[in-house]
Amino acid sequence: MIALYYRQADSLKVLTAAKPELDLFEATSTGNTARVAQLLDSDPALISSYSVDGFTALHFASFFAEEAAATLLLKRGADVTAVAKNATKVMPLHSAATGRM
């Protein structure tokens, strides 16, 4: 996630190759829709889960401009009005506006 936030594409490639079993938030943030679908198929409740830093998968898809991941999450019932469980209190739309990838 740090490599994503700091826009370090080369580092991200190395890191994702070393960790093929991405969690929902990592898979969403990197646009790995196959992994997102796999995780949601095995545990549909993940759609409402929050990362340790207080964001939903839809927040991450929105921030990192992962349109296909966001579409998949929305089709699976992601809450567009979910409020981050941290000091930012942002919703996915705010994440999209802030990310501006």
Question: Residue 52, class by beta-carbon neighbours within 10 Å (0-12 exposed, 13-18 middle, 19+ buried)?
Answer: exposed
How high is the mean pLDDT of the chain?
A: 92
Looking at the structure, give the CATH architecture of the domain made up of residues 2-99.
Alpha Horseshoe (1.25)
Taking residues 44-64, report their average pLDDT: 97
* Cα of 77 vs its chain's centroid, Å: 14
pLDDT at 3 over 80: no
pLDDT at 44 over 90: yes
